[in-house]
Structure 1
Amino acid sequence: MKLTTMSKVGGVLAASVLALTACGVSNEGGNSGGGGDETAAGGGSEVDWSDCTPGEESADTSSMEADSDTDITIGAFDGWDESFAAAHLYKYLLEQDGYTADVQSFQAGPGYTGLAEGDIDVILDGWLPLTHADYLEQYSEDIEAHGCWYDNAKLTLAVNEDSPAQSIADLAEMGDEYGNRIVGIEAGAGLTKTTEESAIPTYGLEDYEFIVSSTPAMLSELKKATDSGDNILVTLWRPHWAYDAFPVRDLEDPEGAMGEAELIYNFTRSGFSDDHPKAGQLLKNLVIDDEALSSLENVMFSEENYNGEDLDGAVEEWAGDNAEFFENWKSGSMAG
């Protein structure tokens, strides 16, 4: 997310997301199944963006010669935590190998435009096959894909780890366990729309009070409930640092009411592979699972850690505890 606009919750934690923009789009559960300018109704590209295995084009970079051009500009999307997490993670690895890397923030539209025009070298946060399909329809011939690195980007209903419900289908008979409440986020978020228009009617949850509030308020209630041992039902999404910060788990969604998981891709400007063969291969090697991503984001964005400030320092600290992650990345051995 944009590192300069983190919201504090009761002086205890920070929201990891920006306030909703005028068009109702942000990383506040709006990446998938949403209804804003960055959300496409379907993919127009001939490429099947749903067909990708993270790290499938991995290769060992240890014997590769260093790139002669070592200056790389990385774009990250305002309001999207995982965008800055991946960008600064890649920056850290590049700088360890003698590159000069610069992370710049953009809204998604200008980011893809800058990539297609060659003003940005790399974007590591392409959500497909749905969310960014319109951008790929427009720019796919002017950019290069370098594989996907995450395959579980989705909207969820989540509960505290030790609560009784295992599936959203259980909730209709368990209202008393959760105070007959679903704690949601902003009114304009795609997650809110999907919960209200799909999950609630699909699973017969009309007797629940759906509290439309804000991401900071939801996270505050989640922290309060898990600290006190109370049951709670919230709207959430992956990736998010809450999965590392709190004892929380997703409910199964047998009817698929919250939508399918999306993939997160790496894209570069045209010609990047020719100019930066080693850096390009490192993009193809990247794989981040839920545990690693949520722990990284927790260090970077929660108030108990770096609170969205000094993201390079946060990644350096995380790297100190996860040296094997980087060795596997360079060797191309992260793929499942």
Structure 2
Amino acid sequence: MDKPRLTLPSLALLGLCALFSSSALAESKGKIELVYGEWTTEIASTNLIKVVLEDLGYDVTIRSVAVGAMWQAIAEGDVDGMVAAWLPTTQQNYYDNVRDRIDDLGPNLIGTQVGLVVPSYVEIDTIAELKDSAERFDNKIIGIEPGTGIMRRTEQVMATYGLEEMKLVESSGPIMTAVLGDAIEDGDWVVVTGWTPHWIFSTHELKYLADPENIYGGVERIHTVVRKGLAEDMPEAYAVLDNFHWTPEQMGELMAWNEEKRADPYENARRWVETYPEVVEAWLP
């Protein structure tokens, strides 16, 4: 018996049914909430993973919170995860407090660093030398948000190296970079809490001050952390988060786009996905 032939109208109907089914499937995949710290690195990575998950049909909300709240919210199961865990040094104490109540999916980026950063023209090379040169820096270390891992480490650094006469100034990532830029424009000495990857290293000539006591630690990694049960509740989303990884250079490009005038981190993340489909494909289940 001959197989029935599909006419053009019937093919069109099948296509419409398939489109409807795909749309219904996308709508049924559920809601995902991710948290992050208001840092240039995590603004880039969290918006990027939001775009990827949305393209798979998830309704994704991202929310900026304090670093301690990130870990606690995941441990309590109030949110689904983050791609913003700096380990094993910067956020290790937060991790230790909740390690039994979260799933650590491992690093999504390897090759990060944190520490005290100065313009390359500054004539000291170690943190220990700050003590005798404090006045050249106006007795200030320009920091970011209080309670972050790098600020807590910097407090330890100041105690260890005898920098009690210097003040650790609490601010934010954008304020820190603005102060740094203004000082460089005037040729002044300035020291800030810095990290890699960060766009400031592509726009200014900078250097880390050596940390012989290794309080900041060496090369770090950024991990993906999710709540318990996500693998069972949303296996596809879990697989994407588990597969997600990129390089400091790839992150740096997206971060640089975000520093452009009137930049929209979400739109830039979509632009990045469209520019590097082969990278994104490797993250899909």
Cα offsets for 1:207-231 (capped at 9, x unmatched): xx84644546643342134445x36
Match of 1:313 among 255, 258, 267: 267
The reply to whether residue 290 of structure 1 matches residue 285 of structure 2 is no
Which among 91, 96, 121 is matched to residue 80 of structure 2?
Answer: 121
Q: Secondary structure at the match of 1:256?
A: coil
Identity rate, percent: 22
Q: 1:290 to 1:331 in 2, by over 3 A?
A: closer
Does residue 227 of structure 2 align to residue 273 of structure 1? no
**TM-score calculated relative to the size of structure 1:** 0.58
Length, aligned pairs only = 251
Residue 189 (structure 2) pairs with residue 236 (structure 1): no
Q: How far, CA to CA, are the matches of 1:303 and 1:183 in structure 2?
A: 29
Q: Secondary structure at the match of 1:184?
A: strand
Q: TM-score, normalised by structure 2?
A: 0.66
Change (3 A) 1:305 1:234: farther
Q: Would you tell me which structure has more helix in proportion to its own residues?
A: 2
Q: CA distance change for structure 1 residues 141 and 264 in 2, over 3 Å: closer, same or farther?
A: same
Q: 1:80 to 1:295 in 2, by over 3 A?
A: same
- Tell me the residue number matched to 1:190: 152
Runs of 5+ consecutive residues of structure 2 not aligned to the other structure: 1-24
- Equivalent residue letter for 1:95: E
- RMSD value over aligned CA atoms? 4.1
The 5 A counterparts of 1:131-280 are 131-133=90-92, 135-161=94-120, 163=121, 167-168=125-126, 179=136, 183-186=140-143, 189-190=151-152, 192-198=154-160, 200-201=161-162, 210=166, 212-215=168-171, 218-227=176-185, 230=187, 232-239=189-196, 240-280=198-238
5+ unaligned residues in a row in structure 1: which ranges?
Answer: 1-65
| 1:159 Cα deviation after fit | 2.8
Q: Following the alignment from structure 1 to structure 2, what is the Cα–Cα distance between the partners of residues 107 and 146?
A: 21
Q: 1:135 and 1:225, CA in 2 relative to 1: closer, same or farther beyond 3 A?
A: closer
Shift of 1:113: 4.1
Give SS of 1:93's match.
helix
Q: 1:245 to 1:280 in 2, by over 3 A?
A: farther
CA offsets 1:273-323 (integer angstroms, 9 cap, x no match): 2343343232233234333334433443x48443xxx43124234555xx2
- Name which one, 1 or 2, has greater alpha-carbon Rg: 2
Is residue 72–residue 101 contact of structure 1 (8 Å, CA) maintained in 2?
A: yes
